[in-house]
Amino acid sequence: MKKFLNHSIFLLVVFFGLHCGDHTSPVPTGPVAASTVPFKVPELPGQAFSDALAKNPDRVSVISGAGPGGLTAAIALNKTGRFDHIIVVEKRTQFARNNTVSIQPMSYPMLKHLGLAEKFKQEAVFSQHVRFFEKTAQTGRFEQIGGAFPGLPESLDYTQSVNDVFKNDLWPHYFIELHKLQTFLAKEATALSNVVLIHGEIEILDSEKPADQRRSVRVKSSSPAYSDFLIQRPNLIVVAEGTKSKTRTDLRFKMVRSPGLENQHWCSGVVSLNGALKKAEVRGHISLVVDRTRGRFSFGIFRPATGDLFVNGKIKNENAGRETLDECMKRNAYDILKHEAPFLNIRMPASRNDIVLPADQSTLIGIEPLRAERITDGSNLVLLGDAAAGWSPLGGIGASFTLSLYPHALMTLTESLNGSPAERAAALDAYGRRVQEIIDFWHFARKA
Ligand SMILES: Cc1cc2nc3c(=O)[nH]c(=O)nc-3n(C[C@H](O)[C@H](O)[C@H](O)COP(=O)(O)OP(=O)(O)OC[C@H]3O[C@@H](n4cnc5c(N)ncnc54)[C@H](O)[C@@H]3O)c2cc1C
């Protein structure tokens, strides 16, 4: 039973994460919090830096994209001690995504290994305001099944199957806004003497080269204070550019539907509670409600300051007798309110039809899960994070993967990069298979 509950809690949090505070959603979040990327350019000017890199390309790595994937990769590559130069290139000048991501406990041992855990705890919010309600067939009633879960796994064998990594009996979670996570990681990465973080984009040269020959990279700097430079045949190029990766497109990596995936449709939006929630004392309160008997669930985030309830949930009966977007919103809002009204000391609407839906505040999110057919080009280039998973199979858990299984896979890869050509090829291949397992995990897990 405990395992079952844990599993359902896991699923809830994954679903919660998938849609929480979506930057594509119409949730009025006020001014977007943003922080300037802490760029750190090389001490040598462009040409001199290029010459320095050329002396030992085996100890050079380039990472395109300073999302959680690219930045954690930089810190992980530094940890291996195998690189003198780790060059992270980011095209934006600001980290501005203010959607909140839930971080899974399985990330914690890796954060510890990379020396990030204690500072991360200070940056992120522990899940003390999250409550989980579940309606089970046994009782027929919604019961609170969890809240803040104590304890964190101190160690974890990341070489296990992805499924086994998740078979962890402890379910505490941290929540952090994406821009905050990036800023935190960027500061940690740039504090390392061999890591630089440059504003610009990369261009892959020698793209016609045979797969087993290393490609070179031009870093096209966007900084007025730093010029372009060439990196000849670096040992490793990590493409961590997110879902719309340009480098992936330039190199014609094909995107395919991930096996076992299905279309999902979600309603998402804001319900106005006309100020009733302003009385509520709990700020940033989150609640998840699942009706296991009918296989649907909803979650909401209360914003007492604005009197809004951000609602999300799955559209019922996708094919036959499908409810409208408004009906979906009202159903989910009502479910959540039923549980929250006593806690928050607010008055329930008489019926779900009394719930007010402000115009243009609701939307339908269709999820089309994709992944790259190949994860590496067989030379010195690999995809990582959302660049490998074209879209949201990792939506609700992708950041957690970038803090755990991706850096582990990358560190494992580097162990054999300087071996024989056959060893190198085998390591790249193993990395590709592991990343595909990570991407596919979400949907296979749902079926379990
Ligand atoms: C609505 C929503 C909710 C989510 N909730 C959760 C959650 O609760 N828990 C969780 O674990 N995950 C969650 N995720 C997923 C998580 O945000 C992503 O999986 C994670 O951010 C992926 O990290 P990444 O570094 O691979 O890519 P990204 O975060 O997309 O970072 C890519 C970076 O590369 C840069 N870039 C792009 N192209 C270039 C280029 N050509 N040159 C240089 N730089 C470039 C971008 O500017 C960006 O900084 C959520 C995602 C969404 C959309």
**How many A from CA of 413 to the centre of ligand 1?**
22
Q: How many folded domains does the chain comprise? A: 2
d(CA 348, CA 64): 50
d(CA 430, CA 426): 6
Is residue 407 in some structural domain? yes
Q: Are residues 310 and 378 in the same domain?
A: no
DSSP H/E element including 271: strand 264-272
Q: Are residues 204 and 63 in the same domain?
A: yes
Is residue 52 in some structural domain? yes
Is residue 193 in some structural domain? yes
Given 367, 400, 428, which residue is the final one in a domain? 367
Q: Are residues 301 and 196 in the same domain?
A: no
d(CA 131, CA 348): 19
Q: Are residues 281 and 392 in the same domain?
A: no
Q: Are residues 85 and 22 in the same domain?
A: no
CATH number of 79's domain: 3.50.50.60
Query: Which of 383, 386, 442 to mutate to test ligand 1, by most ligand atoms within 8 A of the CB atom?
Result: 386
**How many A from CA of 1 to the centre of ligand 1?**
35
Q: Are residues 343 and 380 in the same domain?
A: no
Q: Are residues 415 and 394 in the same domain?
A: yes
Reported pTM: 0.84
Q: Are residues 55 and 181 in the same domain?
A: yes
Is residue 396 in some structural domain? yes
How far does CA 410 lie from the centroid of its chain?
Answer: 17
* Domain membership of residue 15 as a residue range: 2-31+264-367
Q: Are residues 192 and 92 in the same domain?
A: yes
From residue 24, alpha-carbon distances to 29, 210, 304, 339 in Å are 12, 40, 22, 27
Is residue 132 in some structural domain? no
Parallel, antiparallel or unpaired: strands 125-126 and 174-177: antiparallel
Given 335, 367, 399, which residue is the final one in a domain? 367
Is residue 153 in some structural domain? no
Given 343, 367, 391, which residue is the final one in a domain? 367
Is residue 395 in some structural domain? yes
**How many A from CA of 68 to the centre of ligand 1?**
7
Q: Which residue minimizes the CA distance to atom 20 of ligand 1? A: 399
Is residue 401 in some structural domain? yes
Q: Which atom of ligand 1 is nearest to the CA of 387?
A: 26
pLDDT, tens digit only, all 448 positions of the chain: 233 333 333 333 434 343 333 323 323 344 456 899 999 999 999 999 999 999 999 999 999 999 999 999 999 999 999 999 999 999 999 998 766 677 888 899 999 999 999 999 999 877 666 777 777 777 778 877 765 555 688 899 999 998 888 775 445 578 788 899 999 999 999 999 999 999 999 999 987 778 789 999 999 999 999 999 999 999 999 999 998 999 999 999 999 887 655 566 778 788 887 666 666 666 567 777 877 676 666 778 777 767 778 887 777 655 555 778 888 888 888 888 888 887 777 778 888 888 888 766 677 766 677 889 999 999 999 999 999 988 754 456 789 999 999 999 999 999 999 999 999 999 999 999 999 999 888 665 543 3
Q: Are residues 89 and 186 in the same domain?
A: yes
Q: Are residues 387 and 318 in the same domain?
A: no
**How many A from CA of 397 to the centre of ligand 1?**
11
**How many A from CA of 386 to the centre of ligand 1?**
6
Q: Are residues 227 and 322 in the same domain?
A: no
Q: Which residue minimizes the CA distance to atom 52 of ligand 1? A: 395
Pocket around ligand 1 at a 6 A CB cut-off:
17-18, 20, 22, 64-70, 89-92, 99, 101-102, 178, 201, 240-242, 246-247, 385-387, 394-400, 402
